[in-house]
Chains A and B, each alone.
Chain A
Amino acid sequence: MDPVVQFQNVTKAYGQAVAVDDLNLTIQAGKFVTLLGPSGCGKSTTLRMLGGFEIPNSGRILLAGKDVTRLPPNKRNVNIVFQDYALFPHMNVARNIAFGLELKGLDSSAIHKRVMELLALVQLQDYAARMPSELSGGQRQRVALMRALAPDPQVLLLDEPLSALDAKLRQQMQIELKSIQERTGKTFLFVTHDQEEALTMSDQIVVMNNGKVEQMGDPHTLYSRPQSVFVANFIGDANLLRAKVVGADAQGTALTWNGRQVGALPSAHAMKQGDSVLIVVRPEALRFLSVPSGEGFAGKIRKRVFKGNHTSMTIEVDDGSQLNALVHPGESEAISGEDVWLGWNPRAATVIRDESAAG
């Protein structure tokens, strides 16, 4: 099957500032895909180019195989859920949702039927006659979503739509969005700077930085196998340990760190002996060992913060660097100032190139 969206060597600059830099991106139909990155990484520009609100300086954008690079927004079959919803304040809920259907030339009974179906999808049937100003933030969000879904777009674009909601509602909407995506089978292209949002909902995450794709993959792969310092730091917390490669094969990578032999998963990049690398160890992958052993290393607890369902610890190791560990209840009762013996499972650590050393 053809991919629903293809960006081919797309570049967009505003004067000297390059927002999107030679972007290549392919999105498969029916997936929940998230563009994730810090503000200014080009994710919103990418979305707006697909929506037709920005024209790339170069490159092509294909929608279901058709070149739409220069088509105006009203001529392409994609719809946006805007960050501030952009509901029409002078129209009630039903007329907001009907707007796109009327412009498609549907007759009024078909429009009514479709509007009611969509409202039922988000349990807002009783709100059809309400004005947007009479709705709560979560309800406006749902109406904006249904208005954008109404004309049956090939791709639904969502521009940080949850950022205006409070934390609790946001979590609820994440689950609801994902469930609507699954029930409708639509392709969702979601833009956010919130890694938790991305991990919760996405089938595919595209991590962007400086107008380029840093890494693309499913949430689990991105979290467990980051391929750059940026991705390791942006998604979750990471301990980055500077090490040298001793040997690498398909089973794993052997390394020396602080004069010790340690292990990690095989790297995505080709490694040879002597290469400078960084080992990514997630805080929860650090293990407390009851007795000193050849595999582990010594550390001293510098800080211990109780967080309810887990405890966060800062541990100083003998070269003076500090590691973060996430400890589940019952795993360790070590207190601040105590000496501990630590290690990690080589299957929970991954190796990335040390970009600063590669220079």
Chain B
Amino acid sequence: MRTMLADAPRTALTMAYWGFVLYLFLPLTLMMAMSFKNAAFIAFPIGDWTFDWYLKVMQDKPFLEACAYSVLVAGLTTLAATVIGVWIAMLIATTEGRWGAVLFALACLPAVVPGMISAISLRIFISTIDMPTGTSAIVLGHTVHAVPFVVVMALTRLRSMPANLVDAARDLGADSVVAFFRVTLPYLGPAIGGGMIFCILLSIDDFVRTFFLGGYRPTLPMLIFAKVQGGMSPEINAMATLVLLVTGAVGLYAEYYTRRSRSR
């Protein structure tokens, strides 16, 4: 009895945890389940099960085009954000004292500015400089948002790097550029890999900035949004399930990859 009483807080914590997990996964599970329903509207009971919605989605040209467009935008964003982010991280790591903290705070700011505010200000900005909405504007917006995540990941890794490594490279005849590409960059590898996957996920997931900065070509979230406005159907569930599975797999792999590399 004593032990059960002593364990009461722990039991409560455990139950709260599983309650949270249920709350997290129940809607997702429902969504996935409905994607297999052999009927045009979403409600219980499911009755007949079918893969038809998936077949339909896979042959849906606008869907595939939106996927390709999202991947293109994500790729360009990741490229730009990684180069800029690593650059900024190097700058912060080599800046002593208070200025380093200031630079870090500035670099992280885009991550905490509300998406809506950032989207509107970017929209006003691009019209001011006469930049058309479309791919370059979207990539610009996504990059601003993604850079802080790359900075934080690269900086964490840089701070764990023994200072002697670069000294050793310089000592053995490398100038600072060679030392960066042959020693610092490979050392940052795992962090950069993780940061890039993060950039891809952030960009594919981004709706608000894309909505304000995009042209006529829809990205994946915009396409799904447009479809939802036309009425819910298990087709949308099938799309959402596919997106969930792919992004989930990428995210889990990123987690595994950074853990494995860090333990080395």
> How many chain A residues touch B (Cβ–Cβ < 8 Å)?
26
Q: Is A86 within 8 A of B165, CB to CB? A: yes
> How many chain B residues touch A (Cβ–Cβ < 8 Å)?
19
Hey, which bits of chain B sit against chain A, CB under 8 A?
162, 164-165, 167-175, 178, 182-183, 186-187, 189, 264
Query: Is A79 at the interface (CB under 8 A from chain B)?
Result: yes
Query: What are 23 contact pairs spanning A and B, CB under 8 A?
Result: A52-B170, A53-B171, A72-B175, A73-B170, A74-B171, A74-B174, A74-B175, A80-B168, A82-B167, A82-B168, A83-B164, A84-B162, A86-B165, A89-B264, A90-B186, A90-B187, A99-B172, A99-B174, A99-B182, A100-B173, A103-B172, A151-B172, A151-B173
CB distance from A54 to the nearest CB of B (A): 11
CB distance from A117 to the nearest CB of B (A): 17
CB distance from B190 to the nearest CB of A (A): 10
Q: Is B173 within 8 A of A74, CB to CB? A: yes
Query: Is A307 at the interface (CB under 8 A from chain B)?
Result: no
Using known A-B contacts A74-B174, A103-B172, determine if residue A133 contacts B167 with beta carbons closer than 8 Å.
Answer: no
Q: Is B171 within 8 A of A89, CB to CB? A: no
Which residues of chain A are within 8 angstroms of B175 by Cβ–Cβ distance? 72, 74
Which residues of chain B are within 8 angstroms of A151 by Cβ–Cβ distance? 172-173
Q: Is A88 within 8 A of B183, CB to CB? A: yes
Which residues of chain A are within 8 angstroms of B171 by Cβ–Cβ distance? 51-53, 73-74, 78-80, 148
Q: Which of B172, B173, B178, B186 neighbours the largest number of chain A CB atoms within 10 Å of its CB?
A: B172
CB distance from A134 to the nearest CB of B (A): 10
Q: Is A103 within 8 A of B164, CB to CB? A: no
Further pairs besides A87-B168, A151-B173: 15, Cβ < 8 Å: A53-B167, A72-B175, A74-B170, A74-B174, A78-B171, A82-B164, A82-B167, A82-B168, A86-B162, A88-B168, A88-B186, A90-B189, A99-B174, A103-B178, A133-B264
Which residues of chain B are within 8 angstroms of A53 by Cβ–Cβ distance? 167, 170-171
Which residues of chain A are within 8 angstroms of B264 by Cβ–Cβ distance? 89, 131, 133
Cα(A148)–Cα(B182), bound, Å: 17
Cα(A269)–Cα(B114), bound, Å: 79
Q: Which residue of B lies closest to A131 (CB)?
A: B264
CB distance from B131 to the nearest CB of A (A): 40
Which of these, A74, A89, A99, A103, contacts B187 with CB under 8 Å?
A: A89
Cα(A148)–Cα(B189), bound, Å: 25
Query: Is A168 at the interface (CB under 8 A from chain B)?
Result: no
Query: Is A104 at the interface (CB under 8 A from chain B)?
Result: yes
Binary contact track A92-103/B, C-beta < 8 Å → 1, others 0: 000000011001
Q: Which residue of A lies closest to B173 (CB)?
A: A103
Which of these, B165, B170, B189, contacts A88 with CB under 8 Å?
A: B165
Q: Which of A42-88 contact B (CB under 8 A)?
A: 51-53, 72-74, 78-80, 82-84, 86-88
Which residues of chain A are within 8 angstroms of B162 by Cβ–Cβ distance? 84, 86
Q: Which residue of A lies closest to B168 (CB)?
A: A86
The 5 closest A-B pairs by CB, nearest first: A86-B164, A100-B172, A103-B173, A86-B168, A73-B170
Query: Is A282 at the interface (CB under 8 A from chain B)?
Result: no
Cα(A131)–Cα(B264), bound, Å: 10
Cα(A79)–Cα(B175), bound, Å: 14
Cα(A88)–Cα(B161), bound, Å: 11
Q: Is A103 within 8 A of B174, CB to CB? A: yes
Which residues of chain B are within 8 angstroms of A72 by Cβ–Cβ distance? 170, 175
Query: Is A147 at the interface (CB under 8 A from chain B)?
Result: yes
Q: Is A104 within 8 A of B164, CB to CB? A: no
CB distance from A287 to the nearest CB of B (A): 50
Cα(A73)–Cα(B165), bound, Å: 13
CB distance from B193 to the nearest CB of A (A): 13
Q: Which of A149-204 contact B (CB under 8 A)?
A: 151
CB distance from A141 to the nearest CB of B (A): 14
Cα(A99)–Cα(B165), bound, Å: 12
Which residues of chain A are within 8 angstroms of B165 by Cβ–Cβ distance? 86, 88-89
CB distance from A103 to the nearest CB of B (A): 4
Cα(A99)–Cα(B182), bound, Å: 9
Which residues of chain A are within 8 angstroms of B172 by Cβ–Cβ distance? 74, 79, 99-100, 103, 147-148, 151
Cα(A184)–Cα(B249), bound, Å: 55
Using known A-B contacts A74-B175, A79-B172, A103-B178, determine if residue A86 contacts B167 with beta carbons closer than 8 Å.
Answer: yes
Q: Which residue of B lies closest to A105 (CB)?
A: B173
Cα(A104)–Cα(B174), bound, Å: 9
Cα(A53)–Cα(B169), bound, Å: 12
CB distance from B14 to the nearest CB of A (A): 38
Q: Is A104 within 8 A of B173, CB to CB? A: yes
Which residues of chain B are within 8 angstroms of A78 by Cβ–Cβ distance? 171
Which residues of chain A are within 8 angstroms of B173 by Cβ–Cβ distance? 74, 100, 103-104, 151
Which residues of chain A are within 8 angstroms of B174 by Cβ–Cβ distance? 74, 99, 103
Cα(A317)–Cα(B173), bound, Å: 61
